[in-house]
Amino acid sequence: MMRRTSLFLFGAAAGALVAFTVVQPRLFLGMAAEAASSDTYRQLDLFGDVFARVRSDYVEKPEDSKLVESAIKGMLQDLDPHSSYMDAKTYHDMQVQTSGEFGGLGIEVKMEDGLVKVIAPMEDTPAAKAGVMAGDLITKLNDEQVQGMTLTEAVDKMRGEVGTPIRLTISRKGIEKPFEVKVTRAVIKIQAVRSKVEQDDIAYIRINQFTQQTNAGLEKAIDNLTGEIGADKIRGYIIDLRNNPGGLLTQAVEVSSAFLDRGEVVSTRGRNPEESLRYNARGGDRTKGKPVIVLVNGGSASASEIVAGALQDHKRATVLGSRTFGKGSVQTIIPLGRDGENGALRLTTARFYTPSGRSIQAKGIDPDIILVQDLPDEEKAKLGAPGDGRSESSLKGHLKNGEEEQTGSPAYVPPEAKDDTQLKLAVDLMKGTVKNAAFPAAAEKTSRAN
């Protein structure tokens, strides 16, 4: 019997994953009979022959464990773009990512010219309290040079046990010499949800990914915005799912439920009919029926597409932007060994469907109001031919979905709000300064308010 834990619904859109749910262990019926077939034995004999020949004749003595691991990786990678083998460390990192919290410093970073550059310190974290600023270049971690490390290696060194210190050597523009900052690690919660008030009475909520913290973050954002604007004065909600690569299926269901009183959110269908599952909204509409606009683009994948598809099918929200990524399959995480000591399999086990029965695999969600974000010249150069965009249908070996597969759309959100044409249109629709038949609710609300 194989023990499986989580289903992932992260898309490959932004170097990401797929959504999760917990399923019960089950027996793989028929496996013994299949393994007993002479053809299967012949294939296993072939693998054994190749393995033995490589061990004995390769120019340098290989490690048996590496050979087996490489064989497993090759077997899974040849299935589809989302099935893979994770070694123990990668499996642990995945668990940290989806938990939404870890021991660390509280900074968003990227690699620039071989050094770690701070994008921004998170509010009220050790890094922010120690004076780390956006734009800082981290040149050393304790006494170890960052130059030569990968970003993953550097991040691993900055994370660690809560309460332990680390010294950062920082180079800052305007300061002649690098200086040291001592930071003590604390529990860091990834801010999966950000919110703000737009135009005095519009609640804007940005969901970055679907971790274990997402629904709690959404509830807090709704409560805070309601308190700030006033329950009777909120004109509507803009839910920004652009460039959200996905996350936990359970969280996608919870987020959808925050805007629905009842009904199906998503269904999954596996190889065997008895594995089909349906997930229904629960808890009731926390927004009291206020108008909702969901922003999507080519970087909105998997769990994001579940939310957009559910709210679109129930006519609870108007979806605005450009076609989504098209990640319509579910991956089950199967730990190997005790607590994943031998790593884990990420195995595609099902496809998911919107409440109306739509499969978005290699097709994506088409918005009710299509508006492709204007791209600067450097982004156009990266994109290639007009209309192209990285999508599920562009991935080698993707699960096919008939003859109606679609290409993707740009996954670009301007850093400056003044250049964000998709957000501007959403605000104008909410305000009623722009009319569109796909969003009648705003016009109705505006006439009542007047």
* Per-residue model confidence (pLDDT) at position 328: 96
* Per-residue model confidence (pLDDT) at position 100: 79
In this model, does residue 85 exceed pLDDT 50? yes
pLDDT confidence tier of residue 90, bands split at 50, 70 and 90: confident
pLDDT confidence tier of residue 22, bands split at 50, 70 and 90: very low
Alpha-carbon distance of 325 to 394, in angstroms, equals: 10
Instruction: Identify the CA nearest to 236 among candidates 448, 437, 421.
Output: 448
pLDDT confidence tier of residue 376, bands split at 50, 70 and 90: confident
Task: Note if the pTM is more than 0.85.
Answer: no
327 noted as active-site residue:
yes
Contacts of 81 (CB under 8 A, 6+ apart): 12, 392, 395, 396, 397, 398
Alpha-carbon distance of 244 to 10, in angstroms, equals: 9
In this model, does residue 365 exceed pLDDT 90? yes
More confident residue, 4 or 380: 380
* Per-residue model confidence (pLDDT) at position 25: 38
pLDDT confidence tier of residue 19, bands split at 50, 70 and 90: very low
Q: Per residue in 27-37, pLDDT tens?
A: 344 445 554 56
Contacts of 305 (CB under 8 A, 6+ apart): 11, 246, 296, 324, 325, 326, 327, 328, 360, 364, 365
397-403: average pLDDT: 90
pLDDT confidence tier of residue 96, bands split at 50, 70 and 90: confident
**Both ends of the chain: CA-CA distance in Å?**
64
Question: Catalytic pick from 136, 240, 313, 368?
Answer: 313
pLDDT confidence tier of residue 252, bands split at 50, 70 and 90: very high
339-364: average pLDDT: 94
Instruction: Lowest mean pLDDT of 48-52, 146-150, 305-309, name the range.
Output: 146-150
Instruction: Lowest mean pLDDT of 150-154, 207-211, 367-371, 375-379, name the range.
Output: 375-379
Highest mean pLDDT among 56-70, 82-96, 122-136: 56-70
CA distances from 203 to 5, 257, 259, 289, 431 (A): 36, 18, 13, 13, 12
1-23: average pLDDT: 43
Let me know: does 98 contact 6? Beta carbons within 8 Å: yes
Place of tokens 């800082």: 136
Q: Per residue in 222-238, pLDDT tens?
A: 999 999 999 999 999 99
In this model, does residue 8 exceed pLDDT 70? no
Instruction: Lowest mean pLDDT of 10-19, 113-122, 244-253, 321-330, name the range.
Output: 10-19
Instruction: Identify the CA nearest to 128 among candidates 76, 200, 186.
Output: 186
Alpha-carbon distance of 333 to 304, in angstroms, equals: 20
Instruction: Identify the CA nearest to 328 among candidates 357, 305, 299.
Output: 305
Instruction: Lowest mean pLDDT of 41-50, 104-113, 290-299, 437-446, name the range.
Output: 437-446
The b/e string for 101-121 (b: 16+ C-beta within 10 A; e otherwise) is ebbbbbbebeeeeebbbbeeb
CA distances from 4 to 22, 68, 101, 209, 253 (A): 8, 21, 22, 23, 20
More confident residue, 397 or 383: 397
Instruction: Identify the CA nearest to 298 among candidates 234, 405, 369, 387.
Output: 387
302 noted as active-site residue:
yes
Alpha-carbon distance of 319 to 311, in angstroms, equals: 8
* Residue 230, φ and ψ in degrees, nearest 5: 105, 130
Let me know: does 293 contact 430? Beta carbons within 8 Å: yes
Question: Catalytic pick from 140, 290, 327, 363?
Answer: 327
* Per-residue model confidence (pLDDT) at position 20: 35
Question: Catalytic pick from 84, 302, 329, 391?
Answer: 302
Alpha-carbon distance of 296 to 413, in angstroms, equals: 10
> Hey, what are 329's tokens?
């399959």
* Residue 300, φ and ψ in degrees, nearest 5: -85, 115
- Of all residues in the chain, the percent with pLDDT exceeding 90 is 64
* Per-residue model confidence (pLDDT) at position 153: 87
Alpha-carbon distance of 217 to 209, in angstroms, equals: 11
When the pLDDT of each residue in the chain is averaged and rounded to a whole number, the result is 86
* Per-residue model confidence (pLDDT) at position 423: 98
